[in-house]
Structure 1
Amino acid sequence: MVYTLTFPDGYGYVVLIALGGIPFLSNMQGNIVTFARKPAGVEYPNAYATPEQAKANQDAYKFNCAQRAHANLLENMPQTIAYMLFAGLEYPTATAALGLGWLLSRTLYAYGYIKTNKRYAFGGGAFWLCQIGLWALCCTTALKML
């Protein structure tokens, strides 16, 4: 049996960001954590340096910041991807724009957290606004379906 799916023009941008850009960012942040682990002296299976390690070793502190930035991405990534894939069915351009904003803001969030120990140093907090916008587009799309 053959199924035909029709997507709106521009939906490819939504997919490119949701299933390309966001997982790529996750992979890059995971690599940063991996390469920071050895200088930090944090052995597996420990996820973080202890407070004592972080206080005594700047590399351990930076490792904790990188690990936390990555964990925060992982906490927000699934629903953001789902929001994009659903909202993009009705609003592909707005969804792609908000998704790109979310991706760039998450990159700034990680950079600020890892380099300056300040999560919102470079405008990294804007991802919350993008995420709320994506959620609102989902709700609007769902209401149109009723």
Structure 2
Amino acid sequence: MSGYSTIVVPQGISYVAAAIFSNVCLLTWQSYKAGFARKAARIPYPQLYAEKAEAQASKEAHRFNCAQRAHQNTLEQLPIVLISTILVGLKRPILAASLCGAWSFARVLYTIGYATGDPERRNTSGGALFYLAQLGLLFSAAYTTVEYLVAGL
């Protein structure tokens, strides 16, 4: 018997790949959205956000901060979502793809709401959905990991 293991890729893994790729599209769109808001607010690089005084004096600067924060928050959450999607996707690809796709779609709604300049609109525009999808991925990944451990994989 050889010391090599075989990795079996489940049917439906292409859905997982598509859902993960949706995050590439999401981040690209958010990046452009924040970039256009930066230009409108005239916030120079490398300044990450408009200063408090700038944001209070200019609606465009405040909107830039909101768009930038939506993008940054997505980047903060992304490792959790990607790792969970991959773990779940190896055993339950349709579930993983559905939850990751819902998360990406909800992040679009979240960003649209947040970028209005009213931070409260981030919660009414997809905030609850992306948290539900992320928690679904997190709990599914934990369950799947326990299954792998019990099976001795």
% identical aligned pairs: 36
Deviation at 1:122, TM superposition (A): 1.9
Name 1:9's counterpart in structure 2. Answer: 11
Preserved CA contact (<8 Å) 1:109 1:125: no
Please report the TM-score for the alignment, with normalisation by the length of structure 2: 0.88
Q: Distance in 2 between matches of 1:92 and 1:65?
A: 34
- Residue 53 of structure 1 deviates from its aligned partner by 0.9
Equivalent of 1:139 in 116, 121, 142: 142
Query: Do the aligned residues in 1 keep the contact of 2:113 with 2:124 (CA within 8 Å)?
Result: yes
Equivalence for 1:122: 125
What residue identity is the alignment partner of 1:68? R
Deviation, structure 1 residue 121: 2.2
Unaligned runs of 5+ in 2: none
Report deviation, 1:91: 1.0
**Any stretches of 5+ residues in structure 1 without a counterpart?**
none
Cα root mean square deviation, aligned? 1.6
Q: 3-state SS of the aligned residue for 1:17? A: helix
User: Bigger CA drift: 115-124 or 100-109?
Assistant: 115-124
Q: Does residue 65 of structure 2 align to residue 67 of structure 1?
A: no
1:124 CA drift (Å) = 2.5
- Normalised by the length of structure 1, the TM-score is 0.92
Change (3 A) 1:144 1:4: closer
Q: Once the 2 structures are TM-superposed, how far is the Cα of residue 4 of structure 1 from its aligned partner?
A: 6.1
